[in-house]
Structure 1
Amino acid sequence: MKKTIHEVTGEIQDRAVLVSLVTPQLKKQELYDPDHSLAELISLAETAQVEVLGTLTQNKEYTDSKWFIGKGKAEELKAMLEQTGGNTAIFDQELSGAQVRNLEQYLDVKIIDRTQLILDIFAQRAKTREGIIQVELAQLSYLLPRLYGQGKNLSRLGGGIGTRGPGETKLETDRRHIRERIAELKRQLQEVVRHRSLHRERRKKTGVFQVALVGYTNAGKSTLLRQLTHADVYVENQLFATLDLTSRSLELPGGMEIVVTDTVGFIQNLPHDLVAAFRATLEEACEADLILHVVDSSSEMMAAQMKVVDQVLEELGAHGKERVTVFNKIDLCSPEQKELLTTDGPFVRISAYREEDLSLLVELIESRFMGTSRTYRIPADKGDLISLVYRVGEVLENEVDGEDMRFKVRVNNKEYDKIGYLLAAYDEARPTQEEPKGETW
């Protein structure tokens, strides 16, 4: 009989009951749906390789300061854990340190809340030095104010906690070591941010057009990056399948090269500590010339997920950036559903696995990058101005007209912003915007 990975490594399999508390205050939140939130928690637990034994929902006017779900429901949860053989309880909402301690002592199982579950998943996914630093910083920032409530689970920090100091209690020593570690991680992260800023400045100087993929987790961003650029990135149908930032070059039909960057996926109630720790990574969206908002068209909660992404982008200061909405996974939608996929501003409906759809998307990207057609009449002896014409974009046509040269140019918007004013006197007519081909509005 084949052994499981937990039997081989000697690890204890997490077997959990998932708990959700629904209050009138939560119901008032625009983006909150109790059923969807609990379904998402199940997906998160499965992503973290937890065996889900069952779910428990409590409707209550307010949260219990001691037990979170109330003593009666805590007794029901204890009976359910004993009956199913569970060793973990995962809560859909964030718990205080006191609530964790009380529940842990009463239930005698590991207590995890939604934030900690997401942090654990990120810890599994982080591969690069930057990602590992960011995750550890977020975990320690989350843990510090809850340290007194962790009890037996404190051992999950591994070797991060130092020994007891003279004249200090163990708790004080732990807190001091965590603060010191947080300070060291912030210093390391600042160095990473400095290097990333240098790379950004280098790309800006070379005039490379930058595109950032953003969206709700499991919307298909990594799949899209792989299909567009043939990047060797991990793709799987699970939440937060990829975490580390990936940038790849993409050659447009006109011959220009751009950089496409895949960013970390968003999720409802994304932990604030995580947003803060990953700000350097998420700021790629702020620095991009164009944001592609990738949307899972097949999701029943599509509208709410789009609003979550809008909120995070606004928090990052990228809300006003030029954006194209990419309705992905249309192969999973009915014809009626596809007709409803519209939004303000430019958009495109695609399946990342269809070549014709990818071509449509690339054309749309190029139209934002080289979006304007202009015609210039320049004296043939003005070699410096003629060279500028070739720098501001793609020359579509050129002909000799007497002592002048006429050029029809599809303008590179970034280059034109820098040097186009030098050609303004030779522009034959007011430019007209070329509509991108395909289904975009």
Structure 2
Amino acid sequence: MKISVHEVTTEIKARAVLVSLVTAQIKKSEALVAYSLHELINLAETAGVEVLDTMMQNKDTADSKWFIGKGKVEELKQLLEELDANTAIFDQELSGAQVRNLEAALDVKIIDRTQLILDIFAQRARTREGIIQVELAQLSYLLPRLSGQGKNLSRLGGGIGTRGPGESKLETDRRHIRNRISELKAQLSEVTRHRQLHRGRRKKAGVFQVALVGYTNAGKSTLLKQLTDADVYIENQLFATLDPTSRALELPSGKEIVLTDTVGFIQNLPHSLVAAFRATLEEVCEADLILHVVNTSSEMRTEQMRVVDEVLHELGADGKEQLTLFNKIDLCPTAESELLTVAGDSIRMSAYLEEDLDKLVHKIQDILLGHKLVLTIPVERGDLSALVHRTCEVIRTEVLDEKIVYEVRINDDDYAKVSSKLRDYVSQT
């Protein structure tokens, strides 16, 4: 029951014309309009589609029947015939009725931006969890777009023992999809439960969790590979990696943290995808620190940063401590890079420069482990010694007479939780 461009590309090579509707609402930013269409081209090529041409229409609002104007439909039909195209891809999301009307009028496959992204995710998913999440998103997209017509209106049942109108093929499909969605959600709930158990164990062990987030193709996977030698797929394309990867990273102090690479974000990221990938993206919500990786060389970096902030807000993770990494700084003009500003901490860097990676891990350490303290604790207070080891990074231990001297590093949040028990034993800051 999946809708997929990939099905087209495996049988007949998809040859497409890309269509974008510029409404009064989005016309305010010409740069954004051009970038969105350019991004659609990249998405199509990533999905294995041969892009033949593009078409844009300026219209105050979308047509409820055709999405674009009726005259533009005729113009598009001529262009498709001239180019011998078999697919039309729209830059915005279409309703089920609009898709059916356009398919009937143009006699080609009609695909919208959401469907295209879903197809790429279907191609990229490798783990069982990723495959489940993609299928859930595809079925959630398909369900409200089902409509019976022609042969689909034929009745099933009837006859002896099944008198009455029977059940339409449409209702059978809907019931099947709803059942499958319920099954997938149950499987994802189990995945979520396992993730929560693992996160709980890490929390108990005092292991910090750091999540890499950012617009697709910002360099998150490259950064993970450079920092941890992770065996991850890296390619200069949209959504090169889909399944999240977690690796241990040793800080200069010797403390280990868990660094997780998450799925890249994109403007107009389908809500069904955000919902389906919530189990994975919960890693972001549970992280002690979020590394927001920005492609500094992109002319649309400000817009891309806004998109990431919106998705983080949707996930409820916008209040988390963030460190913005202005990545690919080597590809950005010096004068332009000097103007980069953001609220909160930030680093200008290249994932391929050793000194920048070293600067980054030291910054992560400073944020997570905080300032140094020297604690002098009586030997008989084993409960306090256990608390120190549980909440602090112990740098040095020395036994003097009946006391143990700990030199530790602790972040502000953890110190706030235990300060009432430890403050009387702080001998030096």
Scaled by the length of structure 2, what TM-score is found?
0.89
Q: Describe the SS at the equivalent of 2:293.
A: strand
- The structure-2 alpha-carbon separation of the partners of 1:183 and 1:391, relative to structure 1 and needing over 3 Å to count, comes to closer
In 1, distance between residues paired with 2:386 and 2:202? 22
| 1:117 maps to amino acid | L
Question: Partner of 2:162 in structure 1?
Answer: none
Deviation readout 1:38-89 (Å, 9 max, x if unpaired): 0110010011010000100000122111111111111111111111111000
1:327-362 CA distance string (max 9 Å, x none): 111111111122012211111111111111111100
| Contact map agreement 1:213 1:221 (CA 8 A) in 2 | yes
Distance verdict in 2 for CA 1:391–1:63, change over 3 Å: closer
CA distance in 1, matches of 2:335, 2:374: 43
What corresponds to 1:141 in structure 2?
140
In the alignment, which residue of structure 1 is the partner of 2:14?
14
Q: Distance in 1 between matches of 2:76 and 2:133?
A: 34
Contact 1:212 1:262 in 2 (8 A): yes
1:224 aligns with 223
- Counterparts of residues 266-281 of structure 1 (less than 5 Å): 266-281=265-280
Letter in 2 for 1:183: S
Flag the 1:95–1:324 CA change in 2: closer, same or farther, 3 A: same
C-alpha separation in 1, matches of 2:383 and 2:93: 63
CA distance in 2, matches of 1:291, 1:369: 11
Cα drift, residue 416 of structure 1: 4.0
Q: Structure 1 residues 391, 300: closer, same or farther in 2, change over 3 A?
A: same
Query: Is this contact kept in 1: 2:206–2:391, CA < 8 A?
Result: no
- List runs of 5+ in structure 1 lacking aligned partners: 1-5, 155-162, 432-441
More moved, 60-69 vs 382-391? 382-391
Rounded to whole Å, the distance in 2 between the matches of 1:262 and 1:20 is: 32
Q: Could you say which residue in structure 2 is the equivalent of 1:159?
A: none
Judge conservation of contact 1:330–1:351 (CA < 8 Å) in 2.
yes
Q: 2:11 is matched by which residue type in structure 1?
A: E
Post-superposition CA distance 1:121-165 (Å, at most 9, x none): 11111111111111111111111111128999x9xxxxxxxx955
What whole-Å deviation, never above 9, does each CA across 1:258-301 have from its counterpart, x for those lacking one? Answer: 00001111110100111111111111110000000000000000
Residue number in structure 1 paired with 2:26: 26
With over 3 angstroms needed to count, the CA separation of the structure-2 counterparts of 1:66 and 1:250, relative to structure 1, is same
2:265 alignment partner AA: F
Cross-structure match for 2:330: 331
Q: CA deviation at 1:31?
A: 11
1:352-371 counterparts in 2 under 5 A?
A: 352-371=351-370
In the TM superposition, residue 405 of structure 1 has moved relative to its aligned partner by: 6.1
Residues in 1 aligned to 2:243 and 2:286: alpha-carbon distance in whole angstroms: 17
Partner of 2:44: 45
Counterpart code for 2:15: R
Aligned mates of 1:131, 1:151 — CA distance in 2: 35
Give the number of aligned pairs.
413
- State the alpha-carbon separation in 1 of the partners of residues 393 and 203 from structure 2: 19
CA contact 1:99–1:149 (8 Å) conserved in 2: no
- Once residues 145 and 406 of structure 1 are traced to their aligned partners in structure 2, the CA distance between those partners, rounded to angstroms, is 65
Q: Percent identity?
A: 69
Task: Indicate the residue corresponding to 2:204 in structure 1.
Answer: 205
- RMSD between superposed Cα atoms in Å: 2.6
**Is the 8 Å Cα contact of residues 31 and 304 (structure 1) preserved in structure 2?**
no
Contact 1:15 1:88 in 2 (8 A): yes
- CA distance in structure 2 between the aligned counterparts of 1:240 and 1:66, rounded to whole angstroms: 32
